[in-house]
Structure 1
Amino acid sequence: MPREVAKQQVPASKGLEKGNWSDLLARFSVPDTQRIDAQLIDAKNDVEAVAAWLREYQDSHQTLKSYRREAERLLFWLASQNNSLCDMNREMLRHYEAFLEDPQPAEQWVGPTKPRHHAQWRPFRGGLSPASRRQSLIILQGLYSWLVEAGWVSHNPFVLMRDKARRLNNQTQTIERYLERDLWVWFWQWLNATMKPATEREAYEQARCRFIFSFAYLLAPRISEMANARMDDFQENEGRWWWVVVGKGNKLARIPVPDDMLECLIEWREALKLEGLPSYHEPTPLMRALDKQRGITDNQLYRLIKGVFTQAADALEAQNGKPAYVSALRRATPHWLRHTAITHQAQSGVSLRYLAESARHSKLDTTSRYLHTEDNEWHQEQQRHRLKTAPKTPSDPL
């Protein structure tokens, strides 16, 4: 934690029933500021005001986690500047954008992954990419909008941002963070070829790894959905198998399960010493820890998947694979698997309507970003435009 910030930390008095994040946010010693009269939340300082905002997301673990991270970074930075939320203006916002790109001094702000209360923990692993900075600003814009409505601050500095709609639009026209089909084919072959276990534990870990990536590729779950999945989420109805999932926004959905997924599920259950496909009443974790009983958290799942991607990148680099593919594997995150699954379904000819249902998108515009057909046609058409034309003969007029 930054030294300047660490000095100001004492336990927060208010907590959330879910997530127990109150001890993760510091209470900051910042100058007293005059609040506007129409305060609509029960808060005595910036930390408690942010806590009230975060409570609105306590039923969505992943959203709460990312929102808490960005709010915490902002509070740390403001405290290091001896400012509070209500002091933020357009010029300070400009400085904060630059800070997100390059947090300085690095020894105070940047460090390796450590447990939250470790002495070497820092708010950043490094400077944020343009997409990550944009996402951070989107979250903080929402925070300030809420704080204005709650009467905690009198203004939203993001309103003054020029081209705000364009700059804070985090959706590209097409999905780019996915593994191209040739790369996925290599990865899946590599993953299976490396499975030569020497011990029973290694055999179990490799079976789990295979199941994780097959589940992610065939059903396109979000990582929290994978971690929270249960055996009896797989249900048979009139001879057809479905995966029942409560996804983003607590929306219940039912996804068709392809035959390949059923085969992988049977193999995984065999590794767990379970027979056949799940029964209707089997509310046990789908993903298991090494004891084959307990579930695993989304953080554990995230690290496991990232670790496999890193190993694959090293293997492909050793084979003198395409640098772009090696780079993709190094940058890939678990969410890339969801993008990969949906993109490859689209390329396989799954109709937009059913693609949207499987992806659980509320808008077809979101799903259409996975369709690369027009890009391919456009690229082919552009090849008509050439520098190398047929040479003229001496008799040809200029």
Structure 2
Amino acid sequence: MKSPDRSEPDTAVAAVASRPAVRPLSRSNRLDSPILPADLSDEDVVARWLAAKATGRGRLATTTLAQYRTEAERLFWYARQVNTPISAWGLDEFSAYIGFLHAPAPWAIRKPGVRRGSPDWRPFLGPLTDRSAGQTQKIVTSLFDWLRDVGYLQLNPATGLPTVGRGDPAKQARFLSPDDTALLREAIAGRPAANSSREARLAMARDLFAVDLFERTGLRTTEVVQCRMGHVRIEPVTQALKREFPDAPPVQWLLRVERGKGGKARWVPCGEIALSLQAYRIAFGLPPVPLPDEDLPLLLSVRRSRWGELRGIRSRTAIWKLVTRLCSETLAYARAHGRRVDADRFERASTHWLRHTYAKGLAQAVRDGLDASAALENMGHRDLRTFRQYVDDEPLKRALATQLARARAPR
């Protein structure tokens, strides 16, 4: 029985009049692939594309793969609504889909509370932003590229279309300032010492290290989950490097990220966390310097296993909750001590905000002479455009610098 307050039909079929018009196709773009089994459906082939993306050394990270699955789900849902399989799409059909992402019809919007599996479920909560639509277009275009490359399609229907949302990204405002992170450390170190348990002491050491880890290496949360203590290396500085960097210390601390975004490995400088790491390890009863084959995760739980072994924090969600809880604790600490802080920033901050904090420091280092390619490598970025969002993201600071410079200029 239809509820009286519903304004849309129960099924998508009944709303076909409001859907994008699709002209009959005179020919199909589909071919018989020489490397795929015969008689596969479009869904079967795309499932193989997703499986390929999850396989091998360059496989996608779990979160990225989830986004690819979401885009495939949206794509097939739309193709069913317009009654045109993706293997029959041409330029017009692909363009109509991209336009649909920006302005989906009312029948395509999911109502709050509707669960997956319900006949009323839809893959859209509303129109996508330019940036999100651009990401969708990028992923779907790569899918059609793969379908063409494996001989399933003759041509990519997205060929030649400009990508939406390709403007320079907005300046990044989601970061914590040095004063903010100093307050984080102060709040952790200022926890009540009276009757503190062993777990409380371990939590303090671990939490201080966690702030250092994210702020001073810029790792992504997924990368922290995957890193092990044994990925830390202490490398001696060679005589050749000492001639190039005469003030260099005798050794450098490096952290190996085995699989960053896009499956890319990299070495990240981590000398800034060396003291914090050693103090943290000592608190947990470990030698100050990790062994090369040490398999313990970087972030440890304060509770041991039932057999008394140290355990790591092995999920993105758990690490995210740890850092957001530290931010909430810091906000409460600041209010209790009459400190003026931007409460909204601490309420919204997360692990990625600390990554952005690190990136801002790198942006300043680039202005001071660090090679931009080194900054990109440290961050695990491929495109300089992505890194530019961290440069000059404080308009008030820029305004003051401009005013001072103009005041000093001769008239």
TM class by shorter chain equals 0.5 to 0.7
- Is 1:44 paired with 2:40? yes
Alignment of 1:1-398 (within 5 A): 36-39=30-33, 41-42=36-37, 44-58=40-54, 59-62=59-62, 63-79=64-80, 84-85=85-86, 86=88, 88-99=93-104, 104-107=109-112, 130-152=130-152, 158-159=158-159, 164-165=162-163, 167-169=164-166, 171-172=168-169, 174-194=171-191, 199-238=197-236, 239-246=251-258, 247-258=260-271, 260-289=272-301, 290-291=303-304, 292-309=310-327, 325-347=342-364, 351-353=369-371, 354-362=374-382, 366-372=386-392, 380-381=401-402
- 1:242-269 per-residue CA deviation (whole Å, 9 max, x = no partner) reads 22222345444333322x4112212321
Alpha-carbon deviation of 1:173?
6.4
Report the CA distance shift for 1:138/1:326 in structure 2 as closer, same or farther (over 3 A): farther
* Higher relative contact order, chain-length normalized (CA < 8 Å, sep 6+): 2
- How many residue pairs were aligned? 346
After superposition, the C-alpha distances for 1:188-238 in whole angstroms (9 at most, x for unaligned) are 434444576854444444443332221111111122221111111112222
For residues 224 and 101 of structure 1, the distance between their equivalents in structure 2, rounded to whole angstroms, comes to 36
Three-state SS of the structure 2 residue aligned to 1:300 is helix
- Partners of 2:206 and 2:404 lie apart in 1 by 46
| Range 217-226 or range 271-280, more displaced | 271-280
Amino acid paired to 1:278: P
CA shift digits 1:291-342 (9 cap, x unpaired):
33245023433344345446656777897966xx444444444333222112
Query: Match for 2:267: what amino acid?
Result: R
Structure 2 counterpart of 1:71, which letter? A
After superposition, the C-alpha distances for 1:44-76 in whole angstroms (9 at most, x for unaligned) are 223322222223422232432332233234334
Change (3 A) 1:369 1:127: closer
Letter in 2 for 1:262: A
Distance 2:76 2:332 in 1: 38
Could you tell me which residue of structure 1 aligns to residue 22 of structure 2? none
User: Could you list the runs of 5+ residues in structure 2 that have no partner in the other structure?
Assistant: 1-9, 13-26, 237-250, 305-309, 407-411
Q: TM-score, structure 1 length as denominator?
A: 0.67
Contact map agreement 2:231 2:256 (CA 8 A) in 1? yes
Instruction: Tell me if structure 1 keeps the 8 A contact 2:109–2:122.
Output: no
Structure 2 distance, partners of 1:56, 1:333, is 32
Distance of aligned partners of 1:184 and 1:154 in 2 relative to their CA distance in 1, 3 Å threshold:
farther
Structure 1 residues 227 and 173, CA gap change in structure 2 (3 angstroms): same
Give the Cα separation in 1 of the matches to 2:140 and 2:172: 24
Task: List runs of 5+ in structure 1 lacking aligned partners.
Answer: 6-32, 386-398
Q: Deviations over 1:94-151 (max 9, x none)?
A: 2233349996232465x7xxxx99xxx9967887555334323332232233334445
Distance in structure 1 (CA, Å) of the matches to 2:155 and 2:311:
51
* Conserved? CA contact 1:233–1:244, under 8 Å: yes
User: Percent identity at matched positions?
Assistant: 23
One-letter code aligned to 1:232: G
Distance, in Å, in 1 between the alignment partners of 2:363 and 2:313 is 32
- In structure 2, C-alpha distance between the alignment counterparts of 1:380 and 1:285, rounded to whole Å: 44
